[in-house]
Amino acid sequence: MKHALLVFLGGGFGSLLRFVISKFLNPQFQNFFLGTFLVNVLGCLLIGVILGLSERGNLFSLNTSLFLATGFCGGFTTFSAFAFEQHTFLKNGELFNFSFYTISSLVLGVLAVSLGFWLTRLGN
């Protein structure tokens, strides 16, 4: 239960920060979601640093890693989790899984959003 609470709290802080950054930066630039872009890249950097430090010598406890990596970074951007998983595939030499996961995530993700919009228009 404690672990779930840590992830919940970290996710809340991450989501709030993502909202603030996107709300401020996205309207500043037409035709480019700068806030979302920066959040995705920063989230990837953060999860890399957090998990890298965790692996190097247990610099973070399990509770701290859950709060920061799973919770905060997960709430801040799920793209960071995606990028970490891709890093794992590359580190393990799993090029097929890396390629399949990357392409299918992007293609199916965009198609799923399009399908969602299409489904909401069926009744009109």
The annotated binding site for Na(+) is made up of 74, 77
Q: How far apart are CA 43 and CA 97, in angstroms?
A: 23
**Residue 33 structure tokens:** 């979601």
101 and 86 Cβ atoms separated by less than 8 Å: yes
Q: Which residues are annotated as a binding site?
A: 74, 77
Burial class from Cβ neighbours inside 10 Å (0-12, 13-18, 19+) for residue 104 reads exposed
> Long-range pairs for 30-34 at CB < 8 Å and ≥24 separation?
none
